[in-house]
Structure 1
Amino acid sequence: MSAATASQAKVLKALQNGAAAVQVMLERERTSGLERSVRQLRQFQDRGLAHAELATAAHAGGVPAEWIAQAHERGTRGIRWRAGMFLRTAAPVDREQLLTALDTDVARLASWTVLHAARGGSGGEVGTTTTVARNLRALWTRTCVVAALLDVTAGESQTRWAKSVEAAADAITRQGLFGEQITEQWRAIVHVDMTRYRIQATALGEAGIDTDPSIGPPRPDTAIAAMRAEGVGPIDHISHHDVPTSGAQIAEAVEVAMRQTGDLDQDPLMQPPTFSDPPIRYPGAEL
């Protein structure tokens, strides 16, 4: 690759200018002769974390690693971004691999959406409902902005993701989950750490990458409203299987429930998302 797209240029500019801004802060600190305050330390840490996560999101969105490194290097030398700056020759980016990584994020989003439609808002668990909804927004927003950086088209989004929620609902139905099992999986979403995805989504947004619903997966709140209008939720409506009545059926259901609940810690849908991260961590601003 030899020329950056408009979206890639926005991200490279944010990376380079962010690194340059840190150098200005460091120089002011050196010349002042004063020790860094707690507030200043937090500012440096926040800037460094945002810078590193922006680089991670840039990788996920198809910006070549050579250009990300070049922007970081220039910024650490105090050079701010200018239009038309030379970019190194970059190796081709495997766009299909990056889209496949996003597919995995979308599958997680769809599964969570179905669980939230079935369980969220019932039983008075306001805190859990709020946190799950927040995690859904974070995952959806990050997916949309990375898709925008990848220049995903509306047609690609329609083909790959339009039926993701229906597919997730079918998968959960085939598992034959009962109400309490669904509740346990829904509660487990609270414990998935979405911090990095929130930071990445915010950093891409501040770099000028817009959240475009037309190229993203189904919006969770819209999908949930549609499912509830069709009678999905409360919890037992998601399973088409008969409720166990005989002793043998109840014993089998209990055994399955215990096994599935015990497997939540190993369930990839309940682990911190890493699907769209680059294979190596970008060092970011070392402060």
Structure 2
Amino acid sequence: MVEMSTPTPNQARVLKAVHHAAARTARLLDARKIHWEHLGLIPPASWYESFHGHRRLRAELERVAAAGGVPQEWIDHIRERGSQGRYWSRNFNLPPAGLVDREQLLSDVNLDIRQLRDMAAVNAIYAHRAKQFEPATAAMFDRNIQSIWHRTVAITQLLEVTAAEAAQLWSIDMPWAADIVARLAGTELDVVRTRWREYAHFDTESYALQAATLETAGISARTAHIVAPTPRHMVEQIRAAAITTVEVLNQARGAEITAAVDAVLPEGPSGGYYAETAAGRGDQQTAQPHHDIASSL
């Protein structure tokens, strides 16, 4: 547990964004009041569209702020100030904050990083086929993995993750890629294909909106002081691990298993089998007829 007394620079940026989002929503409500009470008119459809859009963005901003360690008491206080039309100032007093469970927040980030590795792994196996036969679904997959990655990197900034914590979260200098290759060596292609499609159909809208709101506040992968491995880099690590594994298996276990490991090498991103995430769940897809990796790729 961590006790917060003053906001960090990044927390202040997010609180400012919460204030402005609440103020925008309040102005929209005032506009509706003018239309209804003074003009006797129902607001146009564009008003409803704008209002619901702003309200959704504000909600996602507040969720990601809490996920990044901003105390809920501060979020509620700043939202109230914005809704009342009071000007933003970083110098006003914030209410006392409860303890922030930073360890749990870092655990949530780790879950998303494991998700990214799983996604990248199945994509490393199936992407070259998908781009040829399922290009629309492949685009959905790429969108989803990028949304999760951008949100994850932004969250680590908001949490002020240290270099040591980042190394542990992203498993720097740890053989995670080799572990994935070893696990995938005996996996059948229809299992990988089904999993890949599940990831492609994940609802990652919250991830994308939360990443966008943080970017608007000035927090994104471009501003990160600690460089995180990208999905493409994860794929490269898996490929390197696959090559090493092939060399070992050629000597120890023969060409039959080697052929299965070789299937990891075709072009694509990287990942595993953790369906649960901090922000969403994928849809189930029907498995395709049985083929093993070695015989199908």
- The normalised TM-score by structure 1 is 0.77
1:274 to 266, 275, 279: 279
> Residues 111 and 163 of structure 1: is their aligned pair in 2 closer, same or farther, counting only changes over 3 Å?
farther
Q: Which amino acid aligns with 2:140?
A: T
Cα offset, 1:206, TM superposition:
0.5
Between 1:207-216 and 1:77-86, the stretch displaced more is 207-216
Aligned residue in 1 for 2:83: 76
Task: Tell me the TM-score normalized by structure 2.
Answer: 0.74
What's the offset of the Cα at 1:49? 0.3
Query: In structure 1, how many angstroms separate the alpha carbons of the residues matched to 2:16 and 2:106?
Result: 24
Amino acid at match of 2:162: T
Q: Which amino acid aligns with 1:85?
A: F
- What does the per-residue CA deviation read over 1:142-200, in whole Å, with 9 as the maximum and x for residues that have no partner? 00111100001233211221349952662463363112211111111112100111100
Q: How far off is 1:40 after superposition?
A: 1.4
Partner of 1:51: 58
CA offsets 1:100-144 (integer angstroms, 9 cap, x no match): 111111111111011111111225121222111111100000001
One of 160, 174, 188 as aligned partner of 1:178 = 188
> Is 2:22 the partner of 1:19?
yes
Mapping of residues 32-181 of structure 1, within 5 Å? 32=35, 33=39, 34-123=41-130, 124=132, 125-163=134-172, 167=176, 170-171=179-180, 173-174=182-183, 176-181=186-191
Q: Whose RCO is larger (CA < 8 A, sep 6+)?
A: 1
C-alpha displacement of 1:3:
0.7
1:48: Cα distance to partner? 0.2
2-structure distance, mates of 1:241, 1:274? 42
* CA positional deviation for 1:39: 1.5
The 2-side partners of 1:92 and 1:14 are apart by: 22
Alignment RMSD (CA, Å):
2.7
Distance 1:177 1:228 in 2: 16
Structure 1 residues not aligned, in runs of 5+: 233-239, 245-266, 276-287
Q: Tell me, yes or no, if structure 1 residue 189 matches structure 2 residue 196.
A: no
Amino acid at match of 1:157: A
AA at the equivalent of 2:144 = N
Q: Does the CA-based 8 Å contact 2:60-2:209 persist in structure 1? A: yes
Structure 2 stretches lacking a partner, 5+ long: 244-252, 258-271, 281-297
Structure 1 residue ranges, 4+ long, deviating more than 4 angstroms after superposition: 163-166, 228-232, 240-244
Inter-CA distance 241–214: structure 2 relative to 1 (3 Å threshold): farther
> Do the aligned residues in 2 keep the contact of 1:19 with 1:51 (CA within 8 Å)?
yes
Give the counterpart letter for 1:109 in structure 2.
Answer: L
Closer, same or farther in 2 for the Cα pair 1:159/1:241, shift >3 Å? farther
Letter in 2 for 1:36: P
Q: Which amino acid aligns with 1:78?
A: G
Distance 1:132 1:241, change over 3 A: farther
In structure 2, the partner of 1:258 is: none
For the residues of structure 2 that align with 1:178 and 1:133, how far apart are their CA atoms? 22
Distance 2:254 2:156 in 1: 37
| Structure 1 residue identity aligned to 2:11 | Q
